[in-house]
Amino acid sequence: MITPPPLRNDCFALPPGVNWTPVDAALTLLKDRLRPVTASEDLPLQEAVGRVLAADVIALRSNPPQANSAVDGYGFAGPIPEGPNVMPLVEGRAAAGVPYEGMVPAGQAIRILTGAAIPDGVDTVILEEDVNTADGKIAFNGPLKQGANARTAGEDVIAGAVALTAGRVLTPADLALVSAVGVDRVHLRKRLRVAVVSTGDELVEPGAEARPGQIYDANRPMLLALMRQWGFEALDLGPTGDDRAQLRAQLDRGAAAADVILTSGGASAGDEDHVSALLREAGAMQQWRMALKPGRPLALGMWDGTPVFGLPGNPVAALVCTLVFARPAMGLLAGAGWHQPTGFDVPAAFSKSKKPGRREYLRARIRDGRAEVFASEGSGRISGLSWAEGLVELGDGAQQVEPGSPVRFIPYGSFAL
């Protein structure tokens, strides 16, 4: 098992003189300074789906291992000239798993089935639908090029070649490929362990009685579900009030059990923003004032060697910051590399006059090929998160959007949701 070295305490430090941090600059800094923190292990293939490859998978056998027929038909040596052709059939046949042991003489043909190894003397196969048979002979019309309907050995993967590269998150289709090249165990990254904690005296658990001034904790269920959906191991640290000693104990617990700590609330610089205060006490705190709407305050730091992402307390801002910043960063920490979400331009179904100076993300969905945005941009409107199917991203500069204007839509699926 390989264990990577820890991150440095200054890995989140901003360059001198930076006040407001543009989104692209923040993403570049995270991409350049973070690296995998997960250990690795060997596991059987049946336990590998959804896991991150820690090493390349090398093919032990070619796929296909030998030349074989792509169709049911008749095999012979090609090419075949134009016009009618008649060939005698040799006795026997070639079938998948039951190869023909002899050699097919030139000018003769053999019955061959899909997946059967190509016998010696054969390099071309004609479909049975194009052939008439009688009296031990076949008749068909040419031309037929040499190699038709025949798969060559190793045309998919050659033995000794890289079948899958390190950093890939294995899918069921990947397991088919790995199995086909003879590999039954793979070297995997252990699942990234993410501890999640919500902060604030106002928070109560759903189902409990909420007194005046209290709200139900919406962030923790959302963030824990995101971690699990992304294939990480989620550790629920529970809610904590605005109590510095209690939060310190929660951070200690998270650092001991997890690779990353994800907090929501307390990321600004107010009297009750204890996440920022504790990270500052630890000497490893950076407060990124993002040129972003929603989600300006983002506290980043280290707690006892464990990276901490301090998200805003507002659920809308927390989700946006998680998708835009924490998702690619945690993918890199997990060993899966940096994931850049894919968006595409669609016509807008809305109007908006955007001021310059910050990037904006609007809750959006596609209807009739156009991007609709949620009726309110208010960051307290949590219903807009479930209404939406993705985000419309408006760039850092000024922008006047009218119905029909092209806007960039990033579907939730691009964030692996």
What would the pLDDT profile of 120-145 be if each residue is shown by its tens digit?
A: 999 999 999 999 999 999 999 999 99
Cα separation of 69 and 151, whole Å? Answer: 6
Higher pLDDT, 399 or 378: 399
Q: Where are the alpha helices (DSSP H) in 39-83?
A: none
Please state which architecture CATH assigns to domain 20-39+194-333: 3-Layer(aba) Sandwich (3.40)
CA distances in angstroms from 111 to 69, 79, 118, 124, 140, listed in the order given: 11, 18, 11, 12, 14
Cα separation of 50 and 171, whole Å? Answer: 6
Instruction: Find the angle CA(281)-CA(285)-CA(288) to the nearest 5 degrees.
Output: 145
* Averaged pLDDT, 40-65: 97
Predicted pLDDT of residue 285: 64
Cα separation of 27 and 23, whole Å? Answer: 6
Predicted pLDDT of residue 183: 98
The DSSP 8-state label assigned to residue 18 in this structure reads: -
| Paired tokens of 311 | 């998200």
pLDDT at 269 over 60: no
Out of 99-108, 187-196, 290-299, 322-331, pick the least confident: 290-299
Average pLDDT of the chain?
Answer: 92
Predicted pLDDT of residue 271: 47
Query: Which residue carries 């709200």 as its tokens?
Result: 215
Cα separation of 374 and 387, whole Å? Answer: 8
Q: Is 16 exposed, middle or buried (0-12, 13-18, 19+ CB in 10 A)?
A: exposed
The SS3 of residue 21 is strand
Higher pLDDT, 300 or 226: 226
Predicted pLDDT of residue 290: 85
Decide: 291 and 357 in contact? Cβ < 8 Å: yes
Predicted pLDDT of residue 404: 97
Cα separation of 55 and 188, whole Å? Answer: 7
pLDDT at 249 over 60: yes
Residues of the chain with CATH 3.40.980.10: 20-39+194-333
Out of 154-163, 299-308, 346-355, 401-410, pick the least confident: 299-308
Residues of the chain with CATH 2.40.340.10: 344-415
Q: Report the percent of the chain where pLDDT is more than 90.
A: 74
Can you state the angle between helices 244-257 and 274-281, rounded to 10 degrees?
Answer: 70
Q: How many CB atoms lie within 10 A of CB 151?
A: 18
Q: Is the peptide bond before 16 cis (omega within 30 degrees of 0)?
A: no
Phi, psi of 238 (to 5 degrees): 80, 180
| Paired tokens of 147 | 């190699």
Residues of the chain with CATH 2.170.190.11: 68-151
Superfamily per CATH, domain 344-415: MoeA, C-terminal, domain IV (2.40.340.10)
Superfamily per CATH, domain 42-63+155-189: Molybdopterin biosynthesis moea protein, domain 2 (3.90.105.10)
Tell which CATH classification among 3.40.50.620, 2.170.190.11, 2.60.40.740, 3.30.230.10 matches the domain 68-151: 2.170.190.11
pLDDT at 261 over 90: yes
| Paired tokens of 156 | 């998919």
Cα separation of 107 and 86, whole Å? Answer: 9
Decide: 339 and 331 in contact? Cβ < 8 Å: yes
Whole-structure pTM value: 0.87
pLDDT at 267 over 60: no
For residue 371, give the H/E element and its range.
strand 370-373
Residues near 51 by Cβ (< 8 Å), separated by ≥ 6?
A: 43, 169, 170, 188, 189, 191, 231
When computed from its CA atoms, the radius of gyration of the chain, rounded to whole angstroms, is: 30
